[in-house]
Chain A
Amino acid sequence: MQARTRNFILIGGGVVIVGALVAFLATGMYPYTRFKSESIANANAETDLTNLLAESGADQAPPPAAVDNVNALGFLPSGPGAASLSVVTLAVPAMMAMAGAWFWERRGRRSEPRAASK
């Protein structure tokens, strides 16, 4: 393997792993990759009835909690297509490619002295 190819794989792999981790941290560290849902957004935006009750002063518990509606790169994938993007599905292939490049490099180094002695 040429040094240039090996370096490209090692750097590229590192970049993918770091990028995936940054995206995971930046989007809320969800266990699974998730996307915004229009139906959840619409339901969460509607507060007229709850407000009416609150403004009337009636004894009432706070409104039911809302499901998080965000685009987030999760630690694990949550389905096919774009939902298959996750820290694991991005980082594991990158780590395997980096490990492969590293082994190729070691193998090349070992075979060099033998070739030179012949």
Chain B
Amino acid sequence: MKFLVRAAAMTTIVSTLVLAQNASQPAKDASKQAVTIPEADAAKGKPYYTITNKDRQVYFESNAPLENIKGQSNQVVGYAVLSKETGGSIVAGEWRLPVKSMKTGIDLRDEHLASSDWLDASKHPDVVFKIVETKDVKETKKTEAFTTYSATLVGTLSLHGVSKSISIPGSTITVLKESAATAKVAKGEIISVRSKFSVTLKDYGISHPVIGEKVAKDVSLDVSLFLSSVPQ
């Protein structure tokens, strides 16, 4: 009996050591792209640039009957132009999420996600959200340090080569004035944009036999972007 217990413990230790030694390699940094704001967009207001490679920016979740898949990225690159007249109103913007930066914690699954069966990263390397306007902007809180607004983001989501117009109600936009506190984290004035929405895979031309069983028909996204008036 003692032998059995010792041997079982040895197997457990060996499995644990193998697991510990095989931590996956860091992904290539997909954020090293220069952000260029088209002149027409820049002319609409005050431009802000995404602060990339820091806090989590996108979290996605697929809740299917047979499997629950969670993933994240902090490699979103882009800009937003804030209206100079209407506080908290984004009048133009574009955010690019590199498909290969989406990490679920399982390397093979990440490869499948980027493959031609799913998001097809070779043909469509980024998920792109282009903001056209912001509706229903309401100031919800204001202090000396910041102003928070609730709003509906309106734009076009391009995924898997298909572009569709979407509206994201219940979004939160917070403008943090430049201060000693913000300077510790990033240069310039900072804005935070928070949105939650879901994407129906079928709408974007993604079909696969496992959709509805191991992958949900609708994938929920939680987006939390920070942008600065000074490129970081």
Option from A48, A63, A66, A78 in Cβ contact (under 8 Å) with B109: A78
A17 to chain B, nearest CB (A): 9
Contacts of A97 in B (CB 8 A): none
A92 on the interface (CB 8 Å rule)? no
Bound: A27/B108 CA distance, A? 20
Contacts of A40 in B (CB 8 A): 72, 103, 105
Option from B16, B23, B106, B196 in Cβ contact (under 8 Å) with A38: B23
Bound: A16/B26 CA distance, A? 32
Bound: A52/B146 CA distance, A? 11
Contacts of A71 in B (CB 8 A): 16, 19-20, 22-23
Establish whether residues A64 and B54, one from each chain, have CB atoms under 8 Å apart when the complex forms: no
Q: Which of B33-41, B114-122, B161-169, B182-190 contacts A (4 or more CB under 8 A)?
A: B182-190
Establish whether residues B23 and A48, one from each chain, have CB atoms under 8 Å apart when the complex forms: no
Contacts of B56 in A (CB 8 A): 43-44, 46, 63-64, 66
A116 on the interface (CB 8 Å rule)? no
Evaluate whether A64 and B106 lie within 8 angstroms (CB atoms) in the complex, with A19-B8, A23-B16 already known. no
Bound: A15/B11 CA distance, A? 7
Option from A26, A32, A35, A64 in Cβ contact (under 8 Å) with B12: A26
Establish whether residues A15 and B7, one from each chain, have CB atoms under 8 Å apart when the complex forms: yes
Establish whether residues B24 and A49, one from each chain, have CB atoms under 8 Å apart when the complex forms: no
Establish whether residues A68 and B105, one from each chain, have CB atoms under 8 Å apart when the complex forms: yes
Q: How large is the interface on B (under 10, 10 to 19, 20 to 34, 35 or more residues)?
A: 35 or more
Contacts of B11 in A (CB 8 A): 15-16, 18-20, 22-23
Establish whether residues B15 and A19, one from each chain, have CB atoms under 8 Å apart when the complex forms: yes
Whose C-beta in chain B lies nearest to the C-beta of A63? B224
Q: Which of B78-86, B89-97, B137-145 contacts A (4 or more CB under 8 A)?
A: B137-145
Contacts of A113 in B (CB 8 A): none
Whose C-beta in chain A lies nearest to the C-beta of B110? A37
B59 on the interface (CB 8 Å rule)? yes
Establish whether residues A43 and B74, one from each chain, have CB atoms under 8 Å apart when the complex forms: yes
Contacts of B12 in A (CB 8 A): 19, 22-23, 26
Establish whether residues A34 and B192, one from each chain, have CB atoms under 8 Å apart when the complex forms: no
Most buried by B among A15, A20, A48, A61: A15
A107 on the interface (CB 8 Å rule)? no
Establish whether residues B172 and A60, one from each chain, have CB atoms under 8 Å apart when the complex forms: yes
Evaluate whether A31 and B67 lie within 8 angstroms (CB atoms) in the complex, with A49-B54, A85-B15 already known. yes
A42 to chain B, nearest CB (A): 7
Bound: A23/B181 CA distance, A? 45
Evaluate whether A36 and B146 lie within 8 angstroms (CB atoms) in the complex, with A67-B72, A68-B105 already known. no
Binding site for B on A (CB under 8 A): 11-12, 14-16, 18-20, 22-23, 26-27, 31-40, 42-44, 46-50, 52-53, 55-61, 63-73, 78-83, 85, 90
- Listed A/B pairs (27) with beta-carbon separation below 8 Å: A12-B7, A15-B4, A15-B7, A15-B11, A22-B12, A37-B24, A37-B107, A39-B101, A42-B74, A43-B103, A46-B54, A48-B54, A50-B224, A52-B181, A53-B176, A56-B146, A56-B181, A59-B148, A63-B55, A64-B59, A64-B223, A66-B59, A71-B16, A72-B19, A82-B18, A83-B107, A85-B15
